Amino acid sequence: MSDYRILCGNALELAPAMPPGEAALAYLDPPFFSGRRRRNQAGGPAYDDRWPGGMVEYLSFLRGLLNAVHPLLKPNGVLALHLDWRAAHHGRLELERLFGPDAFVNEIIWSYRTGGVSRRSLGRKHDNIHVFAAGPQYTFHRLREKSYLAHRYGFQNIEIHEDEDGPYTLSAMRDVWELPALRGNQKEYAGYPTQKPLALLSRLIECFTNPGDLVVDPCCGSGTTLVAAVRLGRRGLGFDSSAEAVELACRRLSENAS
Contact 253, 4 (CB under 8 A): yes
Q: Does 58 bind ligand SAM (CB under 6 A)?
A: no
Q: Does 77 bind ligand SAM (CB under 6 A)?
A: no
Q: Does 192 bind ligand SAM (CB under 6 A)?
A: yes
Among 80, 245, 252, 253, binds ligand SAM (CB under 6 A): 245
Q: Does 209 bind ligand SAM (CB under 6 A)?
A: no
Contact 118, 242 (CB under 8 A): no
Q: Does 194 bind ligand SAM (CB under 6 A)?
A: yes
Q: Does 222 bind ligand SAM (CB under 6 A)?
A: yes
Residue nearest to ligand SAM (CB): 221
Burial 215-232 (b: 16+ CB within 10 A, else e): bbbbbbbbbbbbbbbbbb
Among 2, 5, 10, 98, binds ligand SAM (CB under 6 A): 10
Q: Does 94 bind ligand SAM (CB under 6 A)?
A: no
3-state secondary structure of 183: coil
Q: Does 238 bind ligand SAM (CB under 6 A)?
A: no
Q: How many CA within 13 A on the CB side of residue 144?
A: 7
Among 70, 74, 130, 196, binds ligand SAM (CB under 6 A): 196
**Strand residues in the chain grouped as ranges (E):** 4-8, 23-28, 36-39, 45-49, 73-83, 104-111, 126-133, 144-148, 161-163, 166-172, 176-178, 214-217, 235-240
Return the number of the residue (103 or 226) whose C-beta is nearest ligand SAM: 226
Sheet of strand 144-148, all strands in order from the earlier edge strand to the far edge:
144-148, 166-172, 161-163
As measured in angstroms, the least distance from the Cβ of 198 to ligand SAM is 9
Among 214, 239, 252, 253, binds ligand SAM (CB under 6 A): 239
- Return residues touching ligand SAM (CB under 6 A): 10-12, 29-31, 47, 192, 194-196, 218-219, 221-222, 224, 239-242, 245
